A and B are shown apart, each in its own frame.
Chain A
């Protein structure tokens, strides 16, 4: 109960993760514009986005441990944490030169499919139940569909369409996460069972 009293609301955690995802989106856009050769000219820049992905995975563990409102939430957050860390670690290995195969990018595709599925599975309510439900569905399908971009990158690493689409996906995800509220209407719909809207 003490922890529940001092921890931030779920919507605030979503906004903080949105900021991390926004950072990732900008890094991906910059890399797509200048190309991988220029991007990797400075060693520290190679580790920037894989490190950010790994960090987001690490930070997902406290979310899993503290937001225990249901078992399925814990499973979803735990699976995100694992997949983000696997994806980040694989990309860090590629950046360091310890891993060589371009197919390690498939871990990112897998992370997006697992994360998207977790979003869809752990949202028990219909799309227009409330804004949070709508966004969970939208986020889930966005991630599942957008997994095609890293999938294409694994086989065609120089595809501009894939790298641009991958970058834009993160901006869309950040937008959705920033829109999240614990109890708020979506497009005029708000279930009477969704709680009391605040602020």
Chain B
């Protein structure tokens, strides 16, 4: 094998590794990005969290905490779904 071909193959392999790691990083980043969005929302609109001022609130107002829902979805995605997806993605590649 000539040095040129070997160099070219090595370059392609490096490119493939970079692409693979990008996909893995993207999958692993979905959950945290969602959770951060939920936290940012809670900071921008704290009145959407009735748990911060619960006095006089009924059941549904205390149950309905949209920013926390978003954070919860992100956390569950990261720790329940993402690990298996990443494992399968790395196996496939």
Contacts and interface: CB of A to CB of B under 8 A. Distances in A.
A178 B88 contact: no
Interface residues of A, number: 23
Contacts of B91: 41
Contact of A34 (B47, B66, B88): B88
Contact of B92 (A12, A26, A33, A38): A38
B70 to A, nearest CB: 7
Interface in B24-79: 26-27, 30-31, 34, 47, 60, 63-64, 66, 69-70, 73, 77
A26 B77 contact: yes
A152 to B, nearest CB: 22
Given A15-B69, A22-B70, A34-B23, A39 B64 contact: no
B66 A45 contact: no
A26 B34 contact: yes
Interface in B3-31: 23, 26-27, 30-31
Contacts of A39: 85
A15 B60 CA distance: 12
Interface string A34-68: 10011101100100000000000000000000000
Given A19-B70, A22-B69, A26-B30, 8 more contacts: A8-B60, A8-B63, A15-B66, A18-B66, A29-B30, A34-B23, A37-B92, A38-B85
Interface of B: 23, 26-27, 30-31, 34, 47, 60, 63-64, 66, 69-70, 73, 77, 81-82, 84-85, 88-89, 91-92
